[in-house]
Amino acid sequence: MATKDSASATTSSASGSTATATATATATSLRVEDVTVESGIEPGASAETMLVTTDSLEEFEQELSSSIDDRQMKESITSTISDIQQDPVDSPKTLAMNLEKSASFDSNEIDELSQQFGQNSLDADPLKCKVWLAQKKHVFVLSQAGKPIYSRYSSEDKLVTVMGVMQALVSFVQAGNDMIRSVHAGDTNFVFVVRGPLILVSVSKTLESVPQLVLQLTYVYNQILSVLSQSQLTKVYEQRRNFDLRRLLTGSERLIDHLLNFMDREPAFFLSAVKCLPLLPSMRDAITQTIVQTCSKIKNLVFAILLANNQLITLVRMKKFCIHPADLHLIQNLVDSSESFKTAESWTPICLPKFDSNGFMYSHVSYLAEDCQACLLLLTVDRDVFFTLSEAKQKIVEKLRRTNCLEAINESMNKASITIAEIGLSEMRHVLYKCKSTAQFWSPGFQPPYTTDEEIQRLLGCYQCLHHRLHSPSRPLKLIFQQLDKETMLAWVTSGFELYVTFEPLITKTDAINSIGKLLKWIKKEEERLFILNSPTF
Amino acid sequence: MITVEGKVVLLGSQGVGKTSMINRYVNKSFNNNVNPTIGAAFFTCTINLDNAKVKFQVWDTAGQERFKSMAPMYYRNANAAFLVFDITEYNTFTSVKSWVTELKRNVEGTMVLILVGNKLDLADMRKVDSEECRKYAESIGASYYEISVLHDEGVEQVFLAASFGLLKLSTGEKDIVTTLKIYDFNNSEIKNSDVPLSEEVLVNMNIAHGIKEKPYLCC
């Protein structure tokens, strides 16, 4: 699989130098003080936040710093959900029942079947298919026993042999009490993540760095947890090492497919942040208050989340509990990939791995109205309150309609995002601004030349490169100013924010600094509309 | 004119067309790429008969194995069950049988059972024999329908049959009191509302603040 020539393997015991030897960043002597931001008032900053603020590379660091045993320990700690549930006796029982049921079937048949499939389809070997080989980024999931679970392109049971090789690589290195992290061959990176009973592999020809690919694989793993929960996953493999997990995952492949495409086009994932739907602060407050008032009496309601166009309108939480952006991204992925939520109210079990990887929450999912396509999720730990929540939702919608909030949401949803040109910054083209203290980010609409999918992809790729350089574990940077063929880019991280800016290629440093000053002033002026600055609770 | 409201549950293997069937009936639409249901979805619909109105609260459950442990949540207290299978897949018929066993074991109240063989449009690939289904349906006291959700054939009849079934349940109470337990929706309503059996209350089950007027005894 891995070509021998020029292949270098990085393992945890190796020096940890990543393959990108070209990463000598062109940090310049830009004088940051020139940019007029008074410290302490970063746009969008707030003392309160409903999101867990994280460094986007926490996964990677955790991955590096922990041995296998360590990680398994961490993953099986106490359950947040049963803490919330008032009846502590009941919850372990229901969970145990879930597990018994799920593990009580006989998987021999399916196992045999999948083997047959594997053999029958050797004639249609994807490894001989040019289109398949040319895909930019493959993602594979297999069990520690080498059983195929998921492949991004082509059916996984045609890849039994390749996955066997992957499993062999992992276990060979494991035998020496080590972990394989990545293999670099030419322009291709092979990245391995071993989590619990699963092996996740990314084979990428993109410019994404190893930590970024690890992050994506961790998202895939979390997506699987979100469907099955940690305890169920561990349990099935404890009972049968060569279990065929596809049996339990049927129907959720599309969630992984969608997640991978989502990560390729959304900066939210590598920024580890969430984008808000721009709304007048008075409107947003009215919406939030409506939800708070309607739901305040409902016991065990943990989160109320209102999403539109994948952006957050509001999030109300139970006191003491915050939501991790990674969990919110999984929720966004679920909503965005499930058209069927539009036709009926749903009662959906979901495990939020960062919140509690061992238990399920129940989510009442519905769109506000035919004429207002914002999706409301009410998440609870109580599986019997569908009708209470359904009723609450009706009331919320009635009130929002009376107070013209639905209109306000529609107006904002239908309006194209403001572009940098409209803000009046002539030499700037695009920007990503992340406020660290609230884990929220803002970006304007795309303007020429970034109007085709290809160009947008390329631009996001550039941002990812910059992001990697700022956060490179071996050599983190504060400021990058880089003149490329088609644009000039600047990346800047402070204690309060991260900023990634795209300029015209020939801009001078002085002009760049001046326009960043203007941009930050504009964001500051608009911050109440662009960000959620409070953190409401029930 | 009486109004009956009942809880209906859709059961069956993944991919047999449960969601498509309810969507065909409620939203009059058919989607070729319907996503697998996660958990369950809730629908309401009303059927107007000559002298009665039947309101359904339908739980469309997910067919995947991992959701099996959630099913009791939905069939508990249900007044009717649509047992859906795919006539081109014999094992979906087998799993309907296991659903029936589970229902008989766990549900106390009398339930209207309706066996539905979907995908009649693929009749040339049929693997499940009509006669066998009919006999099986008879043995469990269910009615049997073969439908094509794709071509919108027979869907109406299934819901009509269910509404007649529920109506019979609600009016037949006096004669067969011993064999037929009082239907659950009435039971729970009495407990919840502490008023005599009232269709108005039943109607407003979802909207607790709804008006409770003229208690009406149906039996």
Is the CB of B34 inside 8 Å of chain A's CB atoms? yes
- Whether A386 sits inside 8 A of B34 (CB atoms) is no
Q: Extract the tokens encoding B5.
A: 């409201």
| A458/A460 Cα distance (integer angstroms) | 5
* CA-closest candidate to residue A375, choices A403, A404, A348, A415: A348
List the single residue in B with minimal CA-CA distance to A363.
Answer: B39
- Whether B42 sits inside 8 A of A347 (CB atoms) is yes
- Classify residue B174 as exposed, middle or buried by CB count within 10 Å of its CB (0-12, 13-18, 19+): exposed
| B60/B217 Cα distance (integer angstroms) | 31
Whether B207 maps to a domain, the answer reads no
Task: Tell which CATH architecture fits domain A58-268.
Answer: 2-Layer Sandwich (3.30)
Q: Extract the tokens encoding A154.
A: 């082509």
What backbone phi and psi angles, to 5 degrees, belong to A346? -120, 155
pLDDT exceeds cutoff 80 at A108:
no
| A198/A75 Cα distance (integer angstroms) | 14
Whether B211 maps to a domain, the answer reads no
Distance (Å) from the C-alpha of residue B197 to the closest C-alpha of chain A?
20
Residues 6+ apart with CB under 8 A from B184: B7, B77, B78, B79, B109
| A237/A389 Cα distance (integer angstroms) | 36
| A442/A314 Cα distance (integer angstroms) | 15
Confidence of residue A3 (pLDDT cuts 50, 70, 90): very low
Cβ neighbours, 10 Å, residue A508: 11
List the single residue in A with minimal CA-CA distance to B23.
Answer: A343
Q: How many residues in total does chain A contain? A: 538
Is the CB of B42 inside 8 Å of chain A's CB atoms? yes
Element (H, E) at B93: helix B90-106
Which among B19, B26, B39 has the least Cβ separation from residue A348?
B39
Q: Which of A383-392, A447-456, B105-114 has the lowest mean pLDDT?
A: B105-114
Distance (Å) from the C-alpha of residue A391 to the closest C-alpha of chain B?
6
Number of Cα atoms under 13 Å in the Cβ half of residue A204: 21
In sequence order, what are the beta bridge partners of B146? B117
List the single residue in B with minimal CA-CA distance to A336.
Answer: B35
- Whether A251 sits inside 8 A of B41 (CB atoms) is no
Catalogue the long-range contacts made by B124-128 (C-beta closer than 8 Å, 24 or more residues apart).
B125/B88, B126/B87, B126/B88, B127/B87, B127/B88, B127/B89, B127/B90, B128/B85, B128/B87, B128/B88, B128/B89, B128/B90, B128/B92, B128/B93
Confidence of residue B171 (pLDDT cuts 50, 70, 90): confident
Which among A101, A347, A394 has the least Cβ separation from residue B69?
A101
Beta strands in A320-388 (DSSP E): 345-350, 361-369, 372-380
Residues 6+ apart with CB under 8 A from A146: A163, A164, A166, A167, A168
Q: What is the largest CA-CA distance in chain A?
A: 69
Confidence of residue A188 (pLDDT cuts 50, 70, 90): very high
B205 and B189 in contact (C-beta within 8 Å)? yes
- Matching residue, tokens 């990674």: A326
Per-residue pLDDT averaged across B10-16, rounded? Answer: 94
CATH number for the domain spanning B147: value is 3.40.50.300
Following CA atoms A312, A411, A364, B149 in sequence, which dihedral angle do they give, to the nearest 10 degrees?
-130
CB pairs below 8 Å between A and B: how many?
86
Write the DSSP assignment of B132-164 as a string of letters: HHHHHHHHTT-EEEE-BTTTTBSHHHHHHHHHH
Element (H, E) at A414: helix A405-414
Residues 6+ apart with CB under 8 A from B43: A344, A345, B22, B26, B56, B57, B58, B60
SS3 A166: helix
Is the CB of B60 inside 8 Å of chain A's CB atoms? yes
SS3 A265: helix
What was the pLDDT predicted at A128?
81
| B84/B147 Cα distance (integer angstroms) | 10
Distance (Å) from the C-alpha of residue A313 to the closest C-alpha of chain B?
24
SS3 B214: coil
A278 and A529 in contact (C-beta within 8 Å)? yes
Q: Which residue has the higher pLDDT, A43 or B121?
A: B121
Mutate to test the interface with B, among A100, A223, A224, A340 (most CBs of B within 10 A): A340
- Write out the residues of chain A at the interface with chain B, using a CB-CB cutoff of 8 A: 97-98, 101-102, 105, 227-228, 232, 247-248, 250-252, 254, 334, 337-340, 343-350, 362-363, 383-384, 386-387, 390-391, 394
Element (H, E) at A527: helix A509-530
pLDDT exceeds cutoff 80 at A345:
yes
pLDDT exceeds cutoff 60 at A132:
yes
What was the pLDDT predicted at B85?
96
What was the pLDDT predicted at A18?
37
pLDDT exceeds cutoff 60 at A26:
no
Whether B200 maps to a domain, the answer reads no
Distance (Å) from the C-alpha of residue A168 to the closest C-alpha of chain B?
30
Domain boundaries, chain A: 24-53+417-530, 58-268, 279-414
Whether B70 maps to a domain, the answer reads yes
Is the CB of B45 inside 8 Å of chain A's CB atoms? no
pLDDT exceeds cutoff 60 at A216:
yes
A213 and A222 in contact (C-beta within 8 Å)? no
Confidence of residue A66 (pLDDT cuts 50, 70, 90): very low
What was the pLDDT predicted at B34?
84
| A9/A30 Cα distance (integer angstroms) | 37
pLDDT exceeds cutoff 80 at A285:
yes
Which chain A residues have a beta carbon less than 8 Å from that of B28? Answer: none
Cβ neighbours, 10 Å, residue A470: 19
CA A233 to chain centroid, in Å, comes to 21
A475 and A466 in contact (C-beta within 8 Å)? no
Mutate to test the interface with B, among A224, A233, A250, A341 (most CBs of B within 10 A): A250
| A158/A250 Cα distance (integer angstroms) | 17
Residues 6+ apart with CB under 8 A from A502: A428, A429, A430, A431, A459, A462, A487, A488, A489
In sequence order, what are the beta bridge partners of A361? A350
Which chain A residues have a beta carbon less than 8 Å from that of B64? Answer: 248, 250-251
Task: Tell which CATH architecture fits domain A279-414.
Answer: 2-Layer Sandwich (3.30)
Q: Extract the tokens encoding A135.
A: 């895909």
Q: Which of A5-19, A297-311, A482-496 has the lowest mean pLDDT?
A: A5-19
Confidence of residue A57 (pLDDT cuts 50, 70, 90): low
ipTM above 0.85, yes or no: no
Is the CB of B66 inside 8 Å of chain A's CB atoms? yes
In sequence order, what are the beta bridge partners of A151? A140
Element (H, E) at A90: helix A90-103
Per-residue pLDDT averaged across A463-491, rounded? Answer: 93
Alpha helices by DSSP H, A229-323:
230-239, 246-249, 253-265, 268-271, 281-295
Whether B186 maps to a domain, the answer reads no
A308 and A374 in contact (C-beta within 8 Å)? yes
- Whether B38 sits inside 8 A of A251 (CB atoms) is yes
* CA-closest candidate to residue A522, choices A453, A419, A438, A452: A419
Whether B205 maps to a domain, the answer reads no
Residues 6+ apart with CB under 8 A from A220: A139, A141, A150, A200, A256, A259, A260
User: Which of left, alpha, beta for A315 (phi over 0: left; psi -120 to 50: alpha)?
Assistant: beta
pLDDT exceeds cutoff 90 at A283:
yes
Is the CB of B32 inside 8 Å of chain A's CB atoms? no
User: Which of left, alpha, beta for A347 (phi over 0: left; psi -120 to 50: alpha)?
Assistant: beta
SS3 B33: coil
User: Which of left, alpha, beta for B214 (phi over 0: left; psi -120 to 50: alpha)?
Assistant: left
- Classify residue A386 as exposed, middle or buried by CB count within 10 Å of its CB (0-12, 13-18, 19+): buried
pLDDT exceeds cutoff 70 at B185:
no
Which chain A residues have a beta carbon less than 8 Å from that of B42? Answer: 344-347, 386, 390
What was the pLDDT predicted at B175?
42
Distance (Å) from the C-alpha of residue B134 to the closest C-alpha of chain A?
29
pLDDT exceeds cutoff 50 at A10:
no
Question: Comparing A58-268 with A279-414, is the CATH topology the same?
Answer: yes
B150 and B87 in contact (C-beta within 8 Å)? no
Per-residue pLDDT averaged across A171-188, rounded? Answer: 93
* CA-closest candidate to residue B57, choices B116, B118, B4: B4
Domain A24-53+417-530, CATH class in plain words: alpha beta
Per-residue pLDDT averaged across B58-77, rounded? Answer: 90
* CA-closest candidate to residue A396, choices A428, A420, A360, A372: A372
Q: Extract the tokens encoding B66.
A: 């991992």
Confidence of residue A11 (pLDDT cuts 50, 70, 90): very low
Mean of all residue pLDDT scores within chain B: 79
pLDDT exceeds cutoff 70 at B112:
yes
Number of domains into which chain B is organized: 1
Whether B183 maps to a domain, the answer reads no
Per-residue pLDDT averaged across A476-489, rounded? Answer: 94
Query: Which amino acid type is present at position A288?
Result: T
Mean of all residue pLDDT scores within chain A: 84
Per-residue pLDDT averaged across A412-418, rounded? Answer: 94
Which chain A residues have a beta carbon less than 8 Å from that of B206? Answer: 387, 390-391, 394
Whether B199 maps to a domain, the answer reads no
Question: Could you give the percent of chain A with pLDDT greater than 90?
Answer: 67
* CA-closest candidate to residue B14, choices B84, B77, B112: B84
Is the CB of B69 inside 8 Å of chain A's CB atoms? yes
List the single residue in B with minimal CA-CA distance to A102.
Answer: B66
* CA-closest candidate to residue B4, choices B79, B71, B55, B39: B55
Confidence of residue A378 (pLDDT cuts 50, 70, 90): very high
How does pLDDT run across A226-260, given as a tens digit for each residue? Answer: 999 999 999 999 999 989 999 899 889 999 999 99
- Whether A345 sits inside 8 A of B207 (CB atoms) is no
Which among B31, B42, B69 has the least Cβ separation from residue A344?
B42
What was the pLDDT predicted at B124?
93
Confidence of residue A20 (pLDDT cuts 50, 70, 90): very low
Which among B22, B64, B68 has the least Cβ separation from residue A250?
B64
